[in-house]
Structure 1
Amino acid sequence: MNNFKYLKISNSEEALHNISNLQNSKFLAGGTNLIDLWKYDLLNPDTLIDINELQDLTTENETADGSFFLGALLTNAETAHHPVVEEKYPLLSRSILAGASAQIRNSATNGGNLLQKTRCYYFYDAALPCNKRNPGSGCPAIEGSNRMHAILGTSEKCIAVFPSDMCVGLAALEAVIQVKGLNGERLIKFEDFHTLPGETPEIDNTLAEDELITGIILPKEGFAENFSYLKLRDRSSYAFALISVATGLKLENGLIKKARIALGGIAHKPWRVKEAEDFLIDKKPDEENFRTAAEMIIKGAKGFGDNDFKIELSKKAIVRNCLMALDPTESQRPGAKPAL
């Protein structure tokens, strides 16, 4: 049995003071990932700081510049089914609904989704070495069972992938993360929030240990007319992605004027290649151009044996999802099959 202290906090200043001064303390919101880690003896906090009563983290509102703010304590379900999200940011709604189960989405928070840990088999087995869990101990996934693992952005230290579906949608939308510390608030571009493993795979993101995520800002452009989210997995529900693709397109006069393509299941963070998106500007939205963009996105990919198939499958998934984005009503109709 692990003894711990429990603090229920009513304001963010008190929460930040406690996280800064209490060693080995953790914020508790939905707890869907924290409890997993605790159950597997990967995390043993001395103090839980319950932040569920922080009212300023449950707000949502449209701003004067047309962007939309989502509080960090809003649940994934509340976000996916929010009328503004469904209307203006359907790509985010689709990506959230592709993940986890209804029960988990009802509990998991937006802030927690950003911070979840990899689901690498070796990370979750405390009896095995893992550089992410125990720096310097090694990465057995490189020569072991690695079917679910990364093909891009890897290092000799780690080939784990980031598991979130929601974050792939947020990456394509170019969201901004609002965080707060004792020294004030700051904004982090989504592309700068999660990190690649490099020499420090134990570091997942650029959030400081004494900071709190307060919300997510969605930009004005939501790609509501041409979008698609494609998730390829071993079974049709409640499974992490082998490969996922979020695509948002802005079309004018039969040409692509803006493109955003983000991938999940292939790297330590949601993966985007801006050069590929720029290539598509003023091009026809056809299979040939999407195939060229896919080659650019997956350039440099490296498999580790069991996951070699991800390289070609990723290219096909990108092309297929971009074509699906041309007619979201057809690709999202009941019974539609995302065949490659």
Structure 2
Amino acid sequence: MKEFGYQRVLEVSEAVSVLGADPDARFLGGGTNLVDLMKTGVERPGRLVDVTELPLDHVEVTPDGALRIGATVTNSDLAAHPEVRRRYPALAQAVLAGASGQLRNMATVGGNLLQRTRCGYFTDVAGPCNKRLPGSGCPAIEGEHHNHAILGASEHCVATHPSDMGVALAAFDAVVRYETADGPGELPLADFYLPVGDTPHLETALPSGALITGITLPPAPVAAHSRYRKVRERASYAFAIGSIAAALDVRDGVVHEVRLALGAVASRPWRALAAERALTGGPATAEAFAAAADAELAAAEALPHNGYKVPLTRNLVVALLTELTEEAAR
């Protein structure tokens, strides 16, 4: 591991100032991803700026009914918060489905958004990877790719985003708040992650030197009737091979409102807008759910060893929406 400096900051303005003066520095929250990447040589910062003491560790309801989540709130505290569990149960479930209890106790909300892909070629500094070394190639396309992307990928990168939390946040129109030397800013999560295209090394639209200060979830009554489902290769701590966050409002057998986001299928949490459009105003039936899933997955481009994700995702959509429909009828 490269030698690095360490500095703890106590104010947001101080954190932004330190990073602005040292382009080789990185913000450090729980370190559950960054430190791992430093050990393998993927990340080589000259200084770590510890932001865990910043006053960003609160979850609060705003006067307009939104939920504001500070960037240094730990994943464990987020999942346990009564307002999160009541207003956005799928978010609490998604967080609890991610990592292990020990890691959730350390990992922060801001860091979760910025975690890098778990693609083996990305973490192997001895080989090529366009995300790590732009222009070097994507060996996953011809190599090991059974857990790689089927949506939104390109010939330059087929890696997936590993976050469970991000999938639920995508379903509920989360907004990322940040601070720069020029002042505060906001980015809808839908615009936060950049498409892969031919620049997979550019992962977010966050301005250079920006510090994530929190996330805002706008009021969404439908989110109270939501659920997160994750499929993985083993029941214990493991990354998803498919996941879904869904919320459903059914009235008299008709879908009044629906939210759907998919995980482990793309380089970013994938909002299933085509499926949502297909369902809204139509019947809440298994046939309609399957047709909506097919509409979303029509754009899927599977590789030789990850084609199973297409029927897996379809079945997840049908199963979870059926469960929510049955709950609403009780």
Q: Percent identity?
A: 43
Residue identity matched to 1:235? R
2:275 and 2:312 mapped to 1: Cα distance? Answer: 17
Q: 1:36 to 1:329 in 2, by over 3 A?
A: farther
* Aligned positions of 1:156-167 closer than 5 A: 156-167=155-166
1:132 and 1:302 mapped to 2: Cα distance? Answer: 20
Following superposition, the deviation at residue 318 of structure 1 comes to 1.2
* Aligned positions of 1:127-142 closer than 5 A: 127-142=126-141
Length, aligned pairs only: 329
- Contact 2:255–2:279 under 8 Å retained in 1: yes
Following superposition, the deviation at residue 324 of structure 1 comes to 2.1
SS at match of 1:291: helix
Do structure 1's residue 82 and structure 2's residue 92 form an aligned pair? no
Unaligned runs of 5+ in 1: 331-340
Residue identity matched to 1:35? V
1:240 and 1:207 mapped to 2: Cα distance? Answer: 25
Do structure 1's residue 46 and structure 2's residue 60 form an aligned pair? no
Do structure 1's residue 94 and structure 2's residue 93 form an aligned pair? yes
Structure 1 consecutive aligned stretches of length 4 or more whose deviation exceeds 6 Å? none
Q: Which residue of 2 aligns with 1:68?
A: 67
Q: Which residue of 2 aligns with 1:15?
A: 15
- Contact 1:99–1:164 under 8 Å retained in 2: yes
CA offsets 1:169-198 (integer angstroms, 9 cap, x no match): 101111111111111111111111112210
* Aligned positions of 1:247-326 closer than 5 A: 247-326=246-325
Following superposition, the deviation at residue 237 of structure 1 comes to 1.8
Following superposition, the deviation at residue 275 of structure 1 comes to 3.0
Following superposition, the deviation at residue 222 of structure 1 comes to 4.8
- Contact 2:89–2:225 under 8 Å retained in 1: no
Q: Which residue of 2 aligns with 1:35?
A: 35
SS at match of 1:232: strand
- Contact 1:154–1:267 under 8 Å retained in 2: yes
Q: Which residue of 2 aligns with 1:338?
A: none
2:72 and 2:307 mapped to 1: Cα distance? Answer: 38
1:101 and 1:283 mapped to 2: Cα distance? Answer: 39
2:252 and 2:65 mapped to 1: Cα distance? Answer: 24
Residue identity matched to 1:3? E
Q: Which residue of 1 aligns with 2:189?
A: 190
* Aligned positions of 1:112-127 closer than 5 A: 112-127=111-126
SS at match of 2:53: coil
Following superposition, the deviation at residue 225 of structure 1 comes to 4.6
Scaled by the length of structure 2, what TM-score is found?
Answer: 0.96
2:255 and 2:265 mapped to 1: Cα distance? Answer: 26
Residue identity matched to 1:80? A
- Contact 1:176–1:216 under 8 Å retained in 2: yes
SS at match of 1:284: coil
Scaled by the length of structure 1, what TM-score is found?
Answer: 0.94
Following superposition, the deviation at residue 314 of structure 1 comes to 1.3
Following superposition, the deviation at residue 215 of structure 1 comes to 0.5
SS at match of 1:52: coil
Residue identity matched to 1:41? G
CA offsets 1:22-45 (integer angstroms, 9 cap, x no match): 131000111100111001111111
**Aligned residues: CA RMSD:** 1.5
CA offsets 1:72-129 (integer angstroms, 9 cap, x no match): 0000110000000011110100111111001101100000000000000100111110
2:249 and 2:150 mapped to 1: Cα distance? Answer: 29
1:327 and 1:226 mapped to 2: Cα distance? Answer: 12
SS at match of 2:271: coil
Residue identity matched to 1:184? G
1:222 and 1:241 mapped to 2: Cα distance? Answer: 27
- Contact 1:75–1:108 under 8 Å retained in 2: yes
Following superposition, the deviation at residue 258 of structure 1 comes to 0.9
Residue identity matched to 2:269? P
1:8 and 1:311 mapped to 2: Cα distance? Answer: 45
SS at match of 2:250: strand
SS at match of 2:95: helix
- Contact 1:33–1:117 under 8 Å retained in 2: yes
Q: 1:73 to 1:137 in 2, by over 3 A?
A: same
Following superposition, the deviation at residue 329 of structure 1 comes to 9.9
